[in-house]
Amino acid sequence: MKKGNIISSIAVATLLLFTQFRQTSAEVDERPNIILIMVDDLGYETVQANGGTSYLTPNLDQMAEEGMRFEHCYAQPLCTPSRVQIMTGIYNVRNYIKFGLLDTSQTTFGHLFQEAGYQTCIVGKWQLGKDPMSPRWAGFQEHCLWQVRTGRVDSTGRDTRFSEPILETNGTLKTYGKEEFGPRVVADYGMDFIERAAKKGDPFLLYYPMILTHCPFSPTPDSPEWAVDDTTVMKYKGQAHYFEDMVAYTDRIIGEINAKLEELGIAENTLVIFTGDNGTDVPVVSEMRGQQVAGAKGESTDAGTRVPLLVKWPTQIQGAQENRDLVDFTDMLPTICEASGIAIPDSLDLDGQSFLPLLKGEETTTRSWIYSWYSRSGELEKARVFARNQQYKLYDSGEFYEVPADYLEENPIPLDSLNAEQQEIATELKAVLDHYAARRLADIE
């Protein structure tokens, strides 16, 4: 064989080998990227697509138009209980110890995705342990977070999450200038993480428990008062009228994230989930479908536990879908794992179930109930416990409510007055309560 033919043959063989390698890599890279966004203190009624009329949420409405909107998603009534539940897929009755802590014995979706070869990152609000290593212990290779080792306020009493924020990036603590906005810093880090992972061809999990829209209700960089008056951060609640600006900035960030996915050419292969960690805070009153809805964060009523859920995945979810099935925060972990082909060890004994078949429009067995065990401090005697479906709710105290007819839960229905259908539902819900009552770990303090 002539020298030129030998070189040509080698070149062809090399090209074939390289093509085979690229094809193999492409097969691996077909695993979807996952972005899970959880807003702080944003109830169901705040989103226009849900019927809210108090705030403009064009980017969230676009997500609903391009994906699936859920009518019945339920979180815990408060931040830390919801964070523990969403990250572990387990009801609080089994693993919630105390406020501001995720026990290091727990397995999170961060662990499962990292072990499966995903790049993992968390940005936003932590509040799950004060050791600077705690985000890494929870399975995240990178982080940019508020409230890891530091408290809510600095030595002057100034809240540190918004203007002049104090944030930790991969274990390094930094105080930013007055012109910096905490939600902007963490969002930019999250989008930089997305871009770096995409350019390397690595599938990624970005968990984004947002800093917004928690009080103190304060100006954002889009507010006329920004950089003029930030005294609102010196008061725990701030001024409630700024909640509207904070919702708008939240919506803006969602739009930027979705635009970044389009820019990088990865939107088609990215599952984006948007939800809230509990109901809207108490000072805020919003309007939905012609009715006023007072925020009820910390309460076990609908306004304290019902949260928005919007899911977008262009290659898998048809647009403008509305779903009335039940979903709760234990379901997030099994859903994103199934979407990514990640096996969940039986030893985890999850309470949640995947709603991926619902997203894909497949026939499936859906939940007939959700369960909630809520105690801010983790103390058994202070727990507020209920099971419910879309219409009825039963507390372990025996209170039985028809929620759409008694939204504020002011008139419990006597159990001895139930009709046959109500009795059947109450019996099923009572069985759920009894089952989980036996699962509270005796050694949890």
In a domain, 375, yes or no: no
- Whether 90 and 154 have beta carbons less than 8 Å apart is answered as no
User: What pLDDT sits at residue 441?
Assistant: 72
- The closest alpha carbon to 299, from 238, 216, 374, 389, belongs to 374
173-180 long-range CB contacts below 8 Å, 24 or more apart? 173/132, 173/149, 178/227, 178/230, 179/227
User: What pLDDT sits at residue 444?
Assistant: 46
For residue 335, say if its preceding peptide bond is cis, omega within 30 degrees of 0: no
For the segment 232-255, the average pLDDT, to the nearest whole number, is 97
User: What pLDDT sits at residue 131?
Assistant: 95
**DSSP symbols for 313-355:** -TTTS-SSEEEEEEEEGGGHHHHHHHHHTPPPPGGG--S----
CA atoms within 13 A on the CB side of 185: 26
- Whether 307 and 38 have beta carbons less than 8 Å apart is answered as no
Q: What percent of the chain has pLDDT over 90?
A: 90
For the segment 40-66, the average pLDDT, to the nearest whole number, is 98
Residue range 258-280, pLDDT digits in tens: 999 999 999 999 999 999 999 99
Q: Are residues 6 and 52 in the same domain?
A: no
Q: Is residue 25 very low, low, confident or very high in pLDDT (cuts 50, 70, 90)?
A: very low
For the segment 404-412, the average pLDDT, to the nearest whole number, is 97
User: What pLDDT sits at residue 229?
Assistant: 84
For the segment 408-428, the average pLDDT, to the nearest whole number, is 98
User: What pLDDT sits at residue 13?
Assistant: 40
Distance CA 278, CA 91 (A): 15
Q: Are residues 407 and 422 in the same domain?
A: yes
* Weakest-pLDDT range from 4-8, 117-121, 178-182, 204-208: 4-8
In a domain, 192, yes or no: yes
Distance CA 159, CA 187 (A): 19
Q: Which amino acid is at 156?
A: T
User: What pLDDT sits at residue 442?
Assistant: 57
**pLDDT at residue 27 greater than cutoff 70:** no
- Whether 247 and 213 have beta carbons less than 8 Å apart is answered as yes
Beta bridge partners of 270: 33
Q: Is residue 312 very low, low, confident or very high in pLDDT (cuts 50, 70, 90)?
A: very high
Q: Last residue of a domain, which of 368, 388, 414?
A: 368
Instruction: Give kind and range of the element (H or E) at residue 208.
Output: strand 204-209
Calculated CA dihedral for residues 411, 413, 417, 419, nearest 10 degrees: 130
Q: Last residue of a domain, which of 342, 368, 394?
A: 368
Q: What's this model's pTM, rounded to 2 decimal places?
A: 0.93
User: What pLDDT sits at residue 30?
Assistant: 87
Q: Last residue of a domain, which of 318, 347, 368?
A: 368
By three-state DSSP, how is residue 206 classified? strand
**pLDDT at residue 18 greater than cutoff 70:** no
Among positive and negative, which fits the CA dihedral 361, 362, 368, 373? negative
Q: Are residues 256 and 394 in the same domain?
A: no
Q: Are residues 151 and 219 in the same domain?
A: yes
In a domain, 201, yes or no: yes
- Whether 117 and 135 have beta carbons less than 8 Å apart is answered as no
In a domain, 445, yes or no: no
In a domain, 123, yes or no: yes
In a domain, 443, yes or no: no
Count of Cβ atoms closer than 10 Å to residue 314 Cβ: 16
- Whether 72 and 325 have beta carbons less than 8 Å apart is answered as yes
Q: Are residues 68 and 188 in the same domain?
A: yes
Q: Are residues 263 and 398 in the same domain?
A: no
Distance CA 1, CA 7 (A): 10
Q: What is the mean pLDDT of the chain?
A: 93
Count of Cβ atoms closer than 10 Å to residue 29 Cβ: 17
**pLDDT at residue 76 greater than cutoff 60:** yes
Residue 123 Cα distances to 292, 308, 325, angstroms: 33, 20, 30
Instruction: Give kind and range of the element (H or E) at residue 432.
Output: helix 420-437
Q: Are residues 384 and 351 in the same domain?
A: no
Distance CA 177, CA 248 (A): 23
**pLDDT at residue 336 greater than cutoff 90:** yes
**pLDDT at residue 4 greater than cutoff 60:** no
In a domain, 9, yes or no: yes
- Whether 139 and 117 have beta carbons less than 8 Å apart is answered as no
Distance CA 354, CA 92 (A): 18
Q: Are residues 355 and 413 in the same domain?
A: no
For the segment 334-354, the average pLDDT, to the nearest whole number, is 97
Q: Is residue 29 very low, low, confident or very high in pLDDT (cuts 50, 70, 90)?
A: low
Q: Are residues 302 and 393 in the same domain?
A: no
Buried b (16+ CB within 10 A) or exposed e, 222-232: ebeebeeebeb
**376: which 2 tokens?**
């801010």
Among positive and negative, which fits the CA dihedral 194, 196, 199, 203? negative
Q: Are residues 8 and 53 in the same domain?
A: no
User: What pLDDT sits at residue 214?
Assistant: 98
Q: Tell me the backbone φ, ψ of residue 167, rounded to 5 degrees.
A: -130, 155
- The residue count of the chain comes to 445
For residue 414, say if its preceding peptide bond is cis, omega within 30 degrees of 0: no
**pLDDT at residue 92 greater than cutoff 80:** yes
Residue range 172-212, pLDDT digits in tens: 999 999 899 999 999 999 999 999 999 999 999 999 999 99
Number of domains composing the chain = 3
What CATH number is attached to the domain comprising 281? 3.40.720.10
Find the domain containing 9 and state its range: 1-30
Q: Are residues 317 and 355 in the same domain?
A: yes
**pLDDT at residue 234 greater than cutoff 60:** yes
Beta bridge partners of 172: 169
Q: Are residues 169 and 262 in the same domain?
A: yes
In a domain, 444, yes or no: no
By three-state DSSP, how is residue 168 classified? strand
- The closest alpha carbon to 310, from 266, 364, 250, belongs to 250
